[in-house]
Amino acid sequence: MGEGAAAPAAAGGLVRVPVALAERGYEVVIGPGARTVLGEVLPPGARMAAVVTQEGIGVDVEVGIEARRFTIPDGEAAKSLSTVEALCRRLAAAGLSRADVVVAVGGGVVTDVAGFAAASYLRGVAYVNVATTLLAQVDAAVGGKTGVNLPEGKNLVGAFWQPAAVLCDTEVLSSLPEREWASGRGEIAKCAFLPAEPGAAAPGTALLAATLEEQVAWCVGLKATVVAADEREGGRRMLLNYGHTLAHALEGLALAGAPVDLRHGEAVAVGLVFAAELARRLGRVDEARVEEHRQVVASLGLPAAVPPGLSAGRLVEYMQRDKKARHDLTFVLDGPRGPEPVASVAPDEVLATLAAMGCEP
């Protein structure tokens, strides 16, 4: 763990990281068997739990109250308004009330969809995330950002809706396929460059050498600290999007049918190298710092190159739809003070950086 991160508390072999949001605060429970405390973190008075998952997840949970199981389709295509509508209709048919709870059991697709449904159904019901992938545990399940995709881009419709608790059971990760591990490692690579507090040192390669539980706890602690200071992404929370501007553009093109075979964290890894290259082109960092990014990405077995055959112009078009943008091109870029939001980046600089990374015009 690095200096300045939210202090975890260990109890019964589990680590508990608080997300300090006053009356909306909650704990993230991390470690082998974390899912077994689900019954302890349900909202008081809940009589029914809507357990939202996918067929291939294979993780059972005991809620201790009446439970109804709802499955959503697999894959990124499931992150759609039609999926949310279908789920909310099934919740209504089951008689879920505002006093009850939604329990999301799965990876980022499940937590995003179930969280958005919980935020929308009856104008908001409680939900708990049981994160079953590394990506969900180190990022997607924590922080209260829920949402779905549109054909025009990633995560363009959603809500800030904080969970009542997040359970990161590292025991269930053993069955993940390698590409799912890679997806989570992309977010860990991002966190290696982000300090927990302004002015503090980023963990760097020390994070990569830590145990799995320590990596999850560090990433959760970082996000908890940032979210507590900027819940709705008005300022510092933008840092958590480091590498994501290009990543979301790549994922958006994939949704539109482009030949992009990258999981989210793999796209983030490519986005980290791109962001470093762009920062160097703008005179914010030197080549040695770019090489640090390449080495971190490579040490985790992640890609650094933009997939072949993609148009730089199309990528910039998708970048302009990014949530950070204000009718301009906004990126999180490294610099003398570390990564920070940089607005109004000239499109020609972005196009030139993409061209240097092998993109077509």
Of the residues 79, 185, 190, 223, which is catalytic?
223
Beta-carbon neighbour count of residue 277 at 10 Å? 21
* Residue 123 annotated to the active site: yes
Is 275:297 a contact under the CB 8 Å cutoff? no
Of the residues 35, 154, 244, 284, which is catalytic?
244
Of the residues 145, 190, 263, 324, which is catalytic?
145
* Residue 264 annotated to the active site: yes
Of the residues 241, 263, 284, 324, which is catalytic?
241
**Close Cβ partners of 86 (under 8 Å, ≥ 6 residues apart):** 72
Strand-pair category, 145-150 with 153-160: antiparallel
Is 302:181 a contact under the CB 8 Å cutoff? no
Of the residues 237, 263, 284, 324, which is catalytic?
237
Q: Distance between CA 148 and CA 80 in Å, rounded?
A: 5
Distance between first and last Cα of the chain? 43
Supply φ then ψ for residue 3, to 5 degrees: -60, 130
Of the residues 27, 233, 251, 277, which is catalytic?
233
Q: Distance between CA 83 and CA 251 in Å, rounded?
A: 19
Of the residues 35, 79, 154, 248, which is catalytic?
248
* Residue 145 annotated to the active site: yes
Alpha helices by DSSP H, 198-286: 205-208, 212-229, 244-255, 264-281
- Residue 143 backbone class (left: φ over 0; alpha: ψ -120 to 50; beta: rest): left
Q: Distance between CA 51 and CA 129 in Å, rounded?
A: 10
Of the residues 264, 280, 284, 323, which is catalytic?
264
* Residue 187 annotated to the active site: yes
* Residue 248 annotated to the active site: yes
Please work out, in degrees rounded to the nearest 5, the angle formed at the alpha carbon of residue 33 by the alpha carbons of 27 and 39. Answer: 60
Q: Could you say which DSSP state residue 196 is in?
A: S
Q: Could you say which DSSP state residue 61 is in?
A: -
* Residues designated catalytic: 123, 145, 187, 223, 233, 237, 241, 244, 248, 264
